[in-house]
Structure 1
């Protein structure tokens, strides 16, 4: 099977990517920042978890893949994560760019993509609402079916009332949350 590398594997979009990768039969390598997030990524089903704060990401991915690299890399981070991706993407691999949580938008060296035969794919999900709404409905059906049989279970780490939304968004931006933080109008309790 294919190897999927997920940056920010304990985050909102990363945790979903990990679960979908496992559901599709991939070997999943998760990259996270910090010991707390290592545990979250393991619990999500990552086969290998790399703590970017304590380990050399490039060396760890190469070791985990026997030097081959990852077939698909899911990158919601950009910046340094993207640079690492280019160094560990397999021959004919794909780097899927889904966001720039690091705040740094990389400038890809296209000569490098040419020399290593990899593809850089942009994925802006919102565009499908206007470009191909039927695909959105189809994906929703597929996801609902996966959830119904327990193959995926969205990680909701916290539920906050509407009044706590601004503070919750700030915690997400600061990178201290795991999974999804759900804002629930009329909900006064805290925690999961």
Structure 2
């Protein structure tokens, strides 16, 4: 099969298309014929060797795939060859096939396009579990989403709006903010042109914001933090700016603010039922037409490096997806 392979960590140019052996389904595993794999910031970090998960080399990045069950290993129940599935992979998704444990699979509706399937679970799951389970977002609360034009940020706008919050979207590009408005943002702030702290206080009539969903970090985090209401909750999702903010503990104390770290993948290890319940809720919303992934760019397998760069360099809004095979 063909796969994008990393043999040595380093720049994205180290990711090369190669012919490798087909995977075989071991006990409790299935082999998937992959039709789509979405791009995440983790893919770039994995190639560089700076991600918290470090696969043994050689490896292929790629965290979430859509495809069809092609082979069943011993002891597998509940699935059959030909089932359309979504799978969460620690790595290995930028390839024509992959072997995964059966508990990594989720059956999906046949009518759901592969690009939507591959874009769905991590981005929507991150926002849903963070806002609902961790931040306890309530209807009518002010929700700020930083990096609102990105694949994860845009789902936070969409889910926050669906949960009844008043959503303020932050981004550095007016076109991305327009997309955020289409997903339910009531207000938008371009942090390149506006004073974020003052604008948030103005929008909320001086009350401050209740929940901040921050995937950017740096100065944007600090500005949002200073515009929070008493008993506000700030979710630390990621650091797209490359700047990890520091928070004086006494500032948390003054307004009784909660600082909440959130890594969606950790729940796979110690509270997987949270993710299962979230996925069921999200698929229900999708089938009801309440949510739909915004996919701005697609690339073929051999252009995976370009796909990762488009996301890393913020040249896209929403999700970027690699399509694999002629019938993807």
* TM-score of the aligned structures, taking structure 1 as reference length: 0.94
State the match for 1:76 in structure 2.
215
Runs of 4+ in 1 over 3 A off after TM superposition: none
Residue aligned with 1:28, SS: strand
Matched, 1:93 2:232: yes
Equivalent of 2:275 in 136, 140, 160? 136
Residue aligned with 1:77, SS: coil
Q: How many residue pairs get matched?
A: 189
Question: Is contact 1:160-1:187 (8 Å) kept?
Answer: no
CA distance in 2, matches of 1:52, 1:187: 41
CA distance in 1, matches of 2:215, 2:304: 22
Cα 1:93/1:36, change in 2 over 3 Å: same
1:188 Cα deviation after fit: 9.6
CA distance in 1, matches of 2:177, 2:157: 13
CA distance in 2, matches of 1:2, 1:123: 20
State the match for 2:160 in structure 1.
21
Equivalent of 1:51 in 176, 180, 190? 190
Question: What are structure 1's unaligned runs of at least 5 residues?
Answer: none
* TM-score of the aligned structures, taking structure 2 as reference length: 0.56
Q: For each residue in 1:56-110, what CA deviation from the matched residue of structure 2 results, as whole angstroms up to 9, or x when unmatched?
A: 1111111111111111100001111110121111110000001011111111111
Question: Is contact 2:299-2:322 (8 Å) kept?
Answer: yes
Equivalent of 2:169 in 30, 38, 41? 30
Question: Is contact 1:161-1:188 (8 Å) kept?
Answer: no
State the match for 1:169 in structure 2.
308
CA distance in 2, matches of 1:59, 1:164: 42
Question: Is contact 1:32-1:38 (8 Å) kept?
Answer: yes
Residue aligned with 1:29, SS: strand
Cα 1:187/1:124, change in 2 over 3 Å: farther
CA distance in 1, matches of 2:177, 2:327: 30
Question: Is contact 2:149-2:171 (8 Å) kept?
Answer: yes
Q: Larger % of helix: which? A: 1
CA distance in 2, matches of 1:35, 1:68: 26
Residue aligned with 1:94, SS: strand
Equivalent of 2:203 in 45, 58, 64? 64
Cα 1:129/1:68, change in 2 over 3 Å: same
State the match for 2:320 in structure 1.
181
